[in-house]
A = this chain, B = another copy of it.
Protein backbone atom coordinates (compact mmCIF):
# COMPACT_ATOMS: atom_id res chain seq x y z
CA UNK A 1 0.00 0.00 0.00
CA UNK A 2 2.03 2.96 -1.23
CA UNK A 3 -0.78 5.45 -0.67
CA UNK A 4 -3.82 5.16 1.61
CA UNK A 5 -5.92 5.46 -1.56
CA UNK A 6 -7.40 8.92 -1.16
CA UNK A 7 -11.15 8.87 -1.45
CA UNK A 8 -12.51 10.62 -4.53
CA UNK A 9 -14.72 12.95 -2.54
CA UNK A 10 -11.99 13.69 -0.08
CA UNK A 11 -9.55 16.56 -0.30
CA UNK A 12 -5.93 16.61 0.72
CA UNK A 13 -4.65 16.51 4.29
CA UNK A 14 -0.92 15.94 4.36
CA UNK A 15 1.43 15.66 7.35
CA UNK A 16 4.82 17.08 6.60
CA UNK A 17 6.39 20.37 7.53
CA UNK A 18 5.11 23.93 7.68
CA UNK A 19 1.46 24.52 8.36
CA UNK A 20 -0.81 26.51 6.08
CA UNK A 21 -2.77 29.68 6.39
CA UNK A 22 -5.63 29.81 8.90
CA UNK A 23 -8.47 27.96 7.18
CA UNK A 24 -11.65 29.96 6.85
CA UNK A 25 -13.34 27.16 4.95
CA UNK A 26 -13.94 23.47 5.38
CA UNK A 27 -16.34 20.92 3.92
CA UNK A 28 -18.74 21.13 6.84
CA UNK A 29 -18.98 24.88 6.57
CA UNK A 30 -19.46 24.67 2.84
CA UNK A 31 -22.18 22.07 3.27
CA UNK A 32 -24.01 24.15 5.85
CA UNK A 33 -23.80 27.27 3.72
CA UNK A 34 -25.02 25.36 0.69
CA UNK A 35 -28.00 24.05 2.61
CA UNK A 36 -28.91 27.50 3.84
CA UNK A 37 -28.55 28.95 0.38
CA UNK A 38 -30.75 26.23 -1.06
CA UNK A 39 -33.42 26.78 1.54
CA UNK A 40 -33.43 30.52 0.86
CA UNK A 41 -32.94 30.73 -2.89
CA UNK A 42 -33.57 27.23 -4.14
CA UNK A 43 -31.30 25.22 -6.35
CA UNK A 44 -31.20 27.95 -8.96
CA UNK A 45 -29.65 30.16 -6.35
CA UNK A 46 -26.97 27.65 -5.55
CA UNK A 47 -24.07 28.90 -7.62
CA UNK A 48 -20.43 28.69 -6.70
CA UNK A 49 -20.32 32.47 -6.69
CA UNK A 50 -23.29 32.80 -4.35
CA UNK A 51 -21.94 30.08 -2.13
CA UNK A 52 -18.60 31.81 -1.90
CA UNK A 53 -20.24 35.14 -1.18
CA UNK A 54 -22.30 33.64 1.64
CA UNK A 55 -19.02 32.43 3.14
CA UNK A 56 -17.26 35.74 2.65
CA UNK A 57 -14.74 34.31 0.27
CA UNK A 58 -13.76 34.33 -3.36
CA UNK A 59 -15.33 31.64 -5.58
CA UNK A 60 -12.01 30.12 -6.42
CA UNK A 61 -11.29 29.54 -2.72
CA UNK A 62 -13.98 26.87 -2.67
CA UNK A 63 -11.91 24.72 -4.97
CA UNK A 64 -9.34 24.20 -2.26
CA UNK A 65 -11.90 22.16 -0.36
CA UNK A 66 -14.14 20.78 -3.02
CA UNK A 67 -13.26 19.56 -6.45
CA UNK A 68 -16.40 20.69 -8.21
CA UNK A 69 -19.93 21.88 -7.73
CA UNK A 70 -20.97 18.28 -8.07
CA UNK A 71 -19.03 17.47 -4.96
CA UNK A 72 -20.94 20.17 -3.12
CA UNK A 73 -24.13 18.44 -4.18
CA UNK A 74 -22.82 15.13 -2.91
CA UNK A 75 -21.98 16.70 0.44
CA UNK A 76 -25.47 18.11 0.69
CA UNK A 77 -26.93 14.77 -0.21
CA UNK A 78 -25.02 12.96 2.51
CA UNK A 79 -26.13 15.53 5.02
CA UNK A 80 -29.76 15.08 4.03
CA UNK A 81 -29.47 11.32 4.25
CA UNK A 82 -28.47 11.65 7.87
CA UNK A 83 -31.79 13.34 8.51
CA UNK A 84 -33.92 10.53 7.15
CA UNK A 85 -35.69 8.78 9.99
CA UNK A 86 -35.10 5.05 9.89
CA UNK A 87 -35.39 4.60 13.64
CA UNK A 88 -38.59 2.63 13.36
CA UNK A 89 -36.75 -0.37 11.99
CA UNK A 90 -35.42 -1.16 15.43
CA UNK A 91 -38.61 -0.47 17.37
CA UNK A 92 -41.73 -0.78 15.25
CA UNK A 93 -43.39 -3.57 13.31
CA UNK A 94 -41.98 -3.77 9.79
CA UNK A 95 -45.00 -2.20 8.11
CA UNK A 96 -44.95 0.80 10.41
CA UNK A 97 -41.21 1.18 10.13
CA UNK A 98 -41.35 1.21 6.34
CA UNK A 99 -44.13 3.75 6.41
CA UNK A 100 -42.27 6.06 8.78
CA UNK A 101 -39.07 5.75 6.81
CA UNK A 102 -40.76 6.32 3.47
CA UNK A 103 -42.63 9.41 4.61
CA UNK A 104 -39.52 10.90 6.14
CA UNK A 105 -37.43 10.11 3.08
CA UNK A 106 -39.95 11.57 0.69
CA UNK A 107 -40.53 14.63 2.83
CA UNK A 108 -36.86 15.52 2.85
CA UNK A 109 -36.13 14.94 -0.81
CA UNK A 110 -39.30 16.57 -2.06
CA UNK A 111 -37.51 19.84 -1.37
CA UNK A 112 -34.33 18.60 -2.99
CA UNK A 113 -35.47 16.98 -6.19
CA UNK A 114 -32.45 18.25 -8.13
CA UNK A 115 -30.39 15.89 -6.01
CA UNK A 116 -32.37 12.84 -6.96
CA UNK A 117 -30.75 12.47 -10.35
CA UNK A 118 -27.43 12.51 -8.53
CA UNK A 119 -28.34 10.13 -5.71
CA UNK A 120 -30.07 7.51 -7.76
CA UNK A 121 -26.87 6.83 -9.63
CA UNK A 122 -24.29 7.60 -6.95
CA UNK A 123 -22.29 4.69 -5.53
CA UNK A 124 -22.76 4.34 -1.80
CA UNK A 125 -19.05 3.72 -1.38
CA UNK A 126 -17.74 6.26 1.11
CA UNK A 127 -21.17 7.69 1.77
CA UNK A 128 -21.34 6.78 5.45
CA UNK A 129 -24.74 8.25 6.23
CA UNK A 130 -26.31 6.57 3.26
CA UNK A 131 -24.71 3.28 4.19
CA UNK A 132 -25.87 3.63 7.78
CA UNK A 133 -29.40 4.02 6.55
CA UNK A 134 -29.18 0.98 4.30
CA UNK A 135 -27.72 -1.06 7.12
CA UNK A 136 -30.56 -0.17 9.46
CA UNK A 137 -33.18 -0.82 6.83
CA UNK A 138 -31.60 -4.14 5.91
CA UNK A 139 -31.58 -5.18 9.54
CA UNK A 140 -35.23 -4.30 9.82
CA UNK A 141 -36.05 -6.45 6.81
CA UNK A 142 -34.05 -9.35 8.19
CA UNK A 143 -35.77 -9.08 11.54
CA UNK A 144 -39.13 -9.06 9.77
CA UNK A 145 -38.29 -12.38 8.15
CA UNK A 146 -37.30 -11.46 4.60
CA UNK A 147 -35.04 -13.89 2.74
CA UNK A 148 -31.69 -12.23 2.21
CA UNK A 149 -31.91 -12.16 -1.58
CA UNK A 150 -35.20 -10.31 -1.56
CA UNK A 151 -34.03 -7.45 0.61
CA UNK A 152 -31.97 -5.32 -1.75
CA UNK A 153 -34.48 -5.51 -4.60
CA UNK A 154 -37.25 -4.60 -2.16
CA UNK A 155 -35.35 -1.58 -0.90
CA UNK A 156 -34.51 -0.54 -4.45
CA UNK A 157 -38.18 -0.75 -5.40
CA UNK A 158 -39.25 1.28 -2.38
CA UNK A 159 -36.61 3.90 -3.03
CA UNK A 160 -37.64 4.22 -6.66
CA UNK A 161 -41.17 4.88 -5.51
CA UNK A 162 -40.05 7.37 -2.90
CA UNK A 163 -37.93 9.32 -5.37
CA UNK A 164 -40.70 9.43 -7.91
CA UNK A 165 -43.14 10.55 -5.27
CA UNK A 166 -40.76 13.29 -4.19
CA UNK A 167 -41.01 14.80 -7.66
CA UNK A 168 -44.74 14.48 -7.56
CA UNK A 169 -44.98 16.37 -4.34
CA UNK A 170 -43.85 19.47 -6.21
CA UNK A 171 -46.43 19.29 -8.95
CA UNK A 172 -48.80 22.24 -9.24
CA UNK A 173 -52.35 21.68 -8.08
CA UNK A 174 -53.74 22.07 -11.58
CA UNK A 175 -51.30 19.73 -13.26
CA UNK A 176 -54.17 17.58 -14.53
CA UNK A 177 -56.20 20.40 -15.96
CA UNK A 178 -56.91 19.13 -19.44
CA UNK A 179 -57.94 22.61 -20.59
CA UNK A 180 -59.47 22.91 -24.01
CA UNK A 181 -58.59 19.31 -24.80
CA UNK A 182 -61.01 18.14 -22.13
CA UNK A 183 -63.56 17.09 -24.74
CA UNK A 184 -61.22 14.56 -26.27
CA UNK A 185 -60.38 13.00 -22.91
CA UNK A 186 -63.76 12.53 -21.28
CA UNK A 187 -62.95 9.63 -18.97
CA UNK A 188 -59.75 11.15 -17.74
CA UNK A 189 -61.31 14.55 -17.24
CA UNK A 190 -64.18 13.03 -15.33
CA UNK A 191 -61.86 11.00 -13.15
CA UNK A 192 -59.91 14.14 -12.30
CA UNK A 193 -63.10 16.00 -11.47
CA UNK A 194 -64.30 13.15 -9.29
CA UNK A 195 -61.53 13.99 -6.86
CA UNK A 196 -63.28 17.15 -5.81
CA UNK A 197 -65.84 19.72 -6.88
CA UNK A 198 -63.22 22.17 -8.18
CA UNK A 199 -60.03 21.67 -10.09
CA UNK A 200 -56.86 22.11 -8.06
CA UNK A 201 -57.04 18.67 -6.60
CA UNK A 202 -53.77 17.09 -7.31
CA UNK A 203 -53.76 14.01 -5.13
CA UNK A 204 -50.07 13.77 -4.42
CA UNK A 205 -50.44 12.78 -0.78
CA UNK A 206 -53.34 10.43 -1.33
CA UNK A 207 -51.50 8.76 -4.16
CA UNK A 208 -48.37 8.36 -2.09
CA UNK A 209 -50.29 6.73 0.69
CA UNK A 210 -52.12 4.38 -1.65
CA UNK A 211 -49.05 3.28 -3.53
CA UNK A 212 -47.06 2.85 -0.37
CA UNK A 213 -49.74 0.65 1.13
CA UNK A 214 -49.74 -1.44 -2.00
CA UNK A 215 -45.98 -1.83 -1.95
CA UNK A 216 -45.93 -2.69 1.73
CA UNK A 217 -48.57 -5.32 1.25
CA UNK A 218 -47.05 -6.76 -1.87
CA UNK A 219 -43.47 -6.80 -0.66
CA UNK A 220 -44.50 -7.91 2.82
CA UNK A 221 -45.86 -11.07 1.27
CA UNK A 222 -42.30 -12.07 0.42
CA UNK A 223 -41.52 -12.79 4.06
CA UNK A 224 -41.11 -16.43 4.99
Chain A residues within CB distance 8 Å of chain B: 113-114, 116-117, 120-126, 128, 131-132, 134-135, 137-139, 141-142, 148-154, 156-165, 167-168, 170-172, 174-181, 184-188, 190-192, 194-195, 203-204, 206-208, 210-211, 213-219, 221-222
Is there an interface contact between A157 and B120, defined as CB atoms closer than 8 Å?
no
Name the distance in Å between A161's Cβ and chain B's nearest Cβ: 5
Is there an interface contact between B152 and A192, defined as CB atoms closer than 8 Å?
yes
Q: Given A160-B208, A167-B160: A177 and B121 within 8 A (CB)?
A: no
Question: CB-nearest residue of chain B relative to A193?
Answer: B148
Given contacts A152-B191, A215-B218, 8 further A-B contacts (CB under 8 A): A120-B167, A120-B168, A121-B171, A124-B177, A134-B185, A152-B207, A159-B168, A211-B215
Is there an interface contact between B128 and A181, defined as CB atoms closer than 8 Å?
yes
Q: Given A170-B120, A185-B135, A192-B152: A219 and B208 within 8 A (CB)?
A: no
Which residue of B164, B174, B216 is within 8 Å of A164 (Cβ)?
B164
